[in-house]
Chain A
């Protein structure tokens, strides 16, 4: 009777349907654990990819002396705050070295309605690269041409409903409700950048002269031109080299710069250090998720063991219609496999729905791009759970096998 697989599966399925409440709960617990494991891994890889995609083609980031990660995070990811400024002279000295191809000055520290303001020069739009060396592109309008013009990122435009031509106020400081709001210095939006999926989307860009305009006080201020403007200090700058060969030499030169203490970091290296630091946390999360998977499989084992006694009758019936003890063994194994498979598969499919639901939120709030679709890791999860389930279900299967042998030999009332 168990000659073909179709029959066997239908038998297992019918048997499970007879105990559907426990079966569904078991499937659900496995689904949750599989989903959790998959989500933890997915968030890790997507976060790393999103961070790695934020900066491309920049060889060194140079700022005032601080930790490598601090410099990387505040300059590129706009997380945390700069430690200090560096002088324009230092910027020019390093920028004019023969191995340097281009530089982009950054001045940070102000905000517009919670979005950080980045003061830079026009080289930013020419040389800044993200993802796979992609250049910033304008969705609307063009770069700022005067000190009182601004270019906004895609998310700023979308969230605040801004369009080209709109006037905005930049406040001194990073909070939305700053006391020092300079009503007299509105910036006109001249351009909106295309969406990049990076912190650029959440940035208001102004010129260096615009930044000084906000910070200078009193009447009689004359807006300086954008081109060729030289502020006294900037926060940091990005450097592109003609050849990467000189990268470590320039890094050493900057780190030992005499005029003022500075730090130069290689973005890719600093990111690797960052992942190295949070790897412990990742391992912990991963370990916890793996334990949850184990717990759910143990739950499956417990359910199967408990069910054995109440299913003696079922087994006896099967035996009476010709099933051999080996069939009983296989029945239990396939039952466990089916529960595990259904659980893991539904867990993995459910998180896809979850990702669709939170994808926009993750992108706009955290700048993390999550993609739908099963990945190689998900199949490992599926296979792993299936394997462990089959392995542990050998115990109830063996007991059922022994029971069926004994039940066949002794007559009970």
Chain B
């Protein structure tokens, strides 16, 4: 009675394919997911530009996902901000490609991004000195306005931000998620020399177990899943 369409016959022919699709077993389901230990890296090479986008649960970057509650946690937040804000501390591109960082954008909970602004303004040398004083001060601030209205200082309204800037009265640590989204762009004089993307953040960010990488180049798209400690990602298809 019911005749299947031709396309549905494809589905019957590849039942596994279809079943898996319907089950929605999609690994690396874009930035919507939040899996601890897994960070997502998107790399685009087009024209003379290399763009890298990183999505990581905050716990993989600093070890927790809430506003810093101790001096030690604040320290880690500041260190993470320092690394995230410095493209050269995050990634490495071949010298012969003559790449210059042209844009950096970090999106995340305000208690992280506010330190980023400091990092941008007062660069590395002032960092060590006023560290202690600012440290406690800022931690105090965080606690004071923990109801989170002005937490969202950055442009993006991400669902994660809302989570992070939660009112705090009933939040449970386990349900609280905060995410960091960072993107970097390089303008390269000799983009053909960019054969791999060096990863330098593994030492600073301790919680990373797996890196899911999506690469888009003129050769097409390919995806890789790598161990969190790899130091370099080849950009050409395997």
Q: What residues make up the interface of A, taking CB atoms closer than 8 Å to B?
A: 47, 65-70, 73, 77-80, 111, 114-116, 155, 174-177, 199, 202, 243-245, 247-249, 251-252, 255-256, 258, 263-274, 276-278, 281, 364-367
Contacts and interface: CB of A to CB of B under 8 A. Distances in A.
B214 A266 contact: yes
Nearest to B160: A256
Given A176-B2, A256-B157, A266 B221 contact: yes
29 contacts: A67-B26, A67-B29, A68-B26, A68-B29, A69-B24, A79-B7, A79-B10, A80-B11, A80-B18, A80-B21, A80-B22, A115-B5, A116-B5, A174-B5, A175-B3, A202-B5, A248-B214, A252-B158, A255-B30, A263-B29, A263-B32, A269-B216, A270-B26, A272-B221, A276-B27, A277-B27, A364-B6, A366-B9, A367-B10
Contact of B159 (A249, A256, A366): A256
Contacts of B30: 68, 251-252, 255, 263-265
Given A78-B5, A115-B5, A251-B42, 4 more contacts: A66-B24, A269-B221, A269-B222, A276-B223
Interface in B153-188: 156-159, 181, 183, 185
A198 to B, nearest CB: 11
Interface of B: 1-11, 13-14, 16-18, 20-32, 42, 44, 46-47, 49, 51, 53, 55, 156-159, 181, 183, 185, 214, 216, 220-223
Contacts of A176: 2-3
Nearest to B161: A256
Contacts of B18: 73, 79-80
B32 A256 contact: yes
A272 to B, nearest CB: 4
Contacts of B51: 245, 248
Contacts of A174: 5
A67 B25 contact: yes
A114 B6 contact: yes
A177 B2 contact: yes
Q: 3 shortest A-B CB distances, which residue pairs? A: A268-B221, A67-B24, A248-B53
Given A247-B216, A263-B30, A367-B10, A277 B25 contact: yes
B17 A278 contact: yes
A255 B32 contact: yes
B31 A255 contact: yes
Contacts of B17: 79, 274, 277-278
Nearest to A256: B158
A202 B8 CA distance: 11
A247 B29 CA distance: 15
Given A79-B10, A245-B51, A366-B13, A114 B4 contact: yes
Contact of A69 (B5, B26, B42): B26
Nearest to A114: B5
Contacts of B6: 114-115, 155, 202, 364-365, 367
Given A69-B21, A365-B9, A366-B9, A266 B27 contact: no
A255 B32 CA distance: 6
Given A248-B51, A256-B31, A67 B216 contact: no
A269 B49 CA distance: 20
Nearest to A81: B22
A174 B157 CA distance: 39
Contacts of A73: 18, 21
B223 A273 contact: yes
B49 A245 contact: yes
A400 B4 CA distance: 60
Contacts of B55: 252
Contacts of B26: 67-70, 270, 273
A259 B44 CA distance: 28
Contacts of B13: 365-366
A272 B220 CA distance: 11
A116 B7 contact: yes
A70 B46 contact: no
Contacts of B28: 68, 269, 273
Contact of A281 (B1, B16, B158): B16
Contact of A111 (B5, B31, B53, B223): B5
Nearest to A252: B31
Nearest to A268: B221
Contacts of A267: 221
Contacts of A70: 21-22, 24, 26
A106 to B, nearest CB: 14
B233 to A, nearest CB: 15
B220 A268 contact: yes
A258 B53 CA distance: 21
B16 A248 contact: no
